[in-house]
């Protein structure tokens, strides 16, 4: 029965007015809203991707610089250890040379003191030998002389 009465939609002049308003609204919205919004979204996407790439590049660069830094620290440590060994070896050599010098000086001083002590002992022995005869004469005079005093 519905078909007998005609179409549900009337195509009169208001349809074309509505179609024109829709087209104008679509064009205005596309120009003023959709394109700028899409452009902002695209710019954000590009900025995000660029920031991600930049961050990846920075991480790679930081990793490379960290490796270079660690290699530098390792080389500096090896150099410092080598220099420390050289300084210790040099100090040990100077210490040993000083000990040898002091030992030789001590040996020389000891030899001089022993020689001086022998010389003094020899002088004392010679003085005693020289005075033995004098003492022997005095003792003999006292023993034989019966108590006479011998003038000194």
Residue ranges per domain, the chain?
Answer: 16-145
Closest by CA position to 100, among listed 90, 108, 88: 108
pTM comes to: 0.44
The CA distance from 81 to 84, in Å, is 5
- Give first-to-last CA distance, the chain, whole Å: 185
* Distance, CA of 52 to CA of 42 (rounded, Å): 15
Measure the CA–CA gap between 46 and 42, rounded to whole angstroms.
Answer: 6
The answer to whether residues 142 and 150 touch, using CB atoms and an 8 Å cutoff, is yes
Contact 150, 138 (CB under 8 A): yes
pLDDT tens sequence across 67-121: 999 999 999 999 999 999 999 999 999 999 999 999 999 999 999 999 999 999 9
């Amino acid at each position: 029965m519905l078909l007998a009465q005609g179409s549900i939609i009337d195509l009169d002049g208001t349809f074309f007015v509505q179609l024109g308003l829709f087209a104008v609204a679509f064009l205005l919205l596309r120009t003023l809203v959709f394109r700028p919004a899409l452009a902002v979204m695209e710019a954000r996407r590009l900025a995000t991707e660029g920031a991600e790439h930049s961050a990846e590049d920075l991480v790679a660069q930081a990793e490379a610089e960290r490796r270079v830094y660690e290699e530098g620290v390792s080389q500096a440590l090896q150099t410092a250890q080598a220099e420390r060994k050289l300084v210790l070896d040099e100090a040990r050599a100077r210490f040993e040379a000083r000990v040898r010098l002091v030992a030789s000086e001590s040996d020389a001083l000891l030899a001089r003191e022993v020689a001086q002590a022998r010389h003094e002992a020899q002088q004392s022995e010679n003085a005693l030998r020289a005075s033995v005869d004098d003492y022997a004469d005095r003792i003999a005079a006292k023993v034989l002389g019966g108590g006479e005093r011998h003038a000194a």
